[in-house]
Amino acid sequence: MKKYLIYLLTGLRILLGWHFLYEGISKLLTSGWSARMYLLGSNWIFSGIFHRMADSPMVIKAVDFLNEWGLILIGLSLFTGLLVRWSSIAGAVMLFFYFIAYPPIPGYTFGGVAEGNYMWVDKNLIELAVLLVFAALPSDFFYGADRLIKRWKEEKPHAPVPSVAKDNVSSGRRELIRDLISLPLLGAFAYAIYRKKRWDSYEKKFLTGNVDAVSGATMKTFTFTSLGELKGQIPKGKLAGLEISRLIMGGNLIGGWSHARDLIYTDKLVKAYHTDNKVMMTMQLAEKCGINAILTHPMLSRIINKYWHETGGKMKFISDGGVSEELIGRSVEGGASAIYVQGGVADRLTYDGKYDEIIKYLELIRKSGRPAGIGAHRLETIKGCVERGIKPDFWVKTLHHHNYWSAKVDLERQTTVDKEFKDNIFDFTPQETISYMNALEEPWIGFKILAAGAIQPKDGVQYAFNNGADFICVGMYDFQVVEDCNIVLDSLAIVNRTRPWRG
């Protein structure tokens, strides 16, 4: 075999050793690290086994120990070239379990670490194949401790020592240096770990307070540590026969509609933040808090269906696509539990006197077997429908006070649908809204209760529940979910309303 091939194979072995060693050390140094959430997130054919392992304190303790020290010892073996065959077999077995827990098959990748888009083949499978090759190769194919020990045995040190030529001595030294080639790299690895640990300590002291020392082979991409602060589960009510949490997720932020007034970059920013995994993570966290519904446009049914398929989640989908036969069809196909005529469209139709179109959309929705609702920003929309005997299964109406600075910018503005809309007020007449909605018998979802982020959640939530909303719809980033749920629980504990709960 050509000598440069030995250098290439040795380099490849050291690279894999570096990866394994870092993964093990990073987990060992991370306080509270556990494979439990990783195992619980598995949903392929062996998921039941992994879930049972995660639910047993004794088993998960052993799994964590084997992960940390298995990765470290395999990494050291590959790095130094000592017992490479056995460590390669052990590493291949480890990677096999990682692979079957999160196979790179569409529909089974949620929660796994992925640097790209995979179709059956990912880095775990590639490294597994390389380790099997290493296990089959003799020690002569690598520079390292195995080769050094083999040469030492073959030299028979107890036999009489003949005279040795200087060339042979020089050759022996070169071979020794080659077999110890990994030692300088091991020193570089130790220095890199030391520098990273110092930087992590700096971040912990001055920035986040959390050490982010883990990457990927055996860790789930998120752990929901904030769930420890949750005060309880969000209670539920009935929305036209559906059991719906009092707090409903809003889809605007996930879909990229930020309502950021004159900040023109934020729509792109929230779209960039909300990757598929981030959206699914946010919905999964919301479900763990008791939120069981999301209200959004049917164009997001793709990610909602992906969430259902990849996580087994049960989040209900309330669609605002009741504005055309096409979008109603897409909502039904996308698995919507309820559909309503979106507020902006309903406002425009009533302003133009086209109530027959609203009636048509309600009939189409009901033919699909879904509850049918009407949304509105303007109270005149709801009044007009009620006066004409149009009775939906539920209402979706804006509700917020005007005690925030941007609401004062245009106090003289018209309260009709016009081209001068400033995107700063969403319930133009809150007191009238409260009085009128209190007299209606249908359930009412209050939305824009925070005036698109202008009102503090604690204030807006209490205002909405006190003044008659049966459910509230709030857009949330992942880091706000637990906090918002706690605010809702606190508000419901002291709620003071005159309108009876409808649903």
Confidence of residue 209 (pLDDT cuts 50, 70, 90): very low
Helix or strand or coil: residue 322?
coil
pLDDT over threshold 70, residue 69: yes
pLDDT over threshold 60, residue 382: yes
Q: Domains in the chain, please, with CATH?
A: 3-206 (no CATH), 245-493 (3.20.20.100)
pLDDT score at 156:
62
Confidence of residue 412 (pLDDT cuts 50, 70, 90): low
pLDDT score at 482:
95
pLDDT over threshold 70, residue 172: no
Contact (CB, 8 A) for 303 and 276:
yes
Q: Which residue has the higher pLDDT, 22 or 167?
A: 22
d(CA 421, CA 431): 20
Contact (CB, 8 A) for 264 and 254:
no
pLDDT over threshold 90, residue 502: yes
pLDDT score at 213:
38
Mean pLDDT of the 193-219 span: 52
User: Which residue has tokens 């964590």?
Assistant: 64
Confidence of residue 224 (pLDDT cuts 50, 70, 90): low
Residues 6 or more apart in contact with residue 324 via CB below 8 angstroms: 361
pLDDT score at 115:
62
Mean pLDDT of the 141-147 span: 88
Confidence of residue 170 (pLDDT cuts 50, 70, 90): low
Confidence of residue 419 (pLDDT cuts 50, 70, 90): very low
Three state DSSP letters for 118-140 = CECECHHHHHHHHHHHHHHCCHH
Mean pLDDT of the 159-172 span: 57
**Strand 444-447 and strand 471-475: pairing?**
parallel
Lowest mean pLDDT among 143-147, 189-193, 344-348, 470-474: 189-193
Is the entire prediction scored with pTM above 0.75? no
Mean pLDDT of the 313-334 span: 96
Question: Counting beta carbons within 10 angstroms of the beta carbon of residue 376, is it exposed (0 to 12), middle (13 to 18) or buried (19 or more)?
Answer: buried
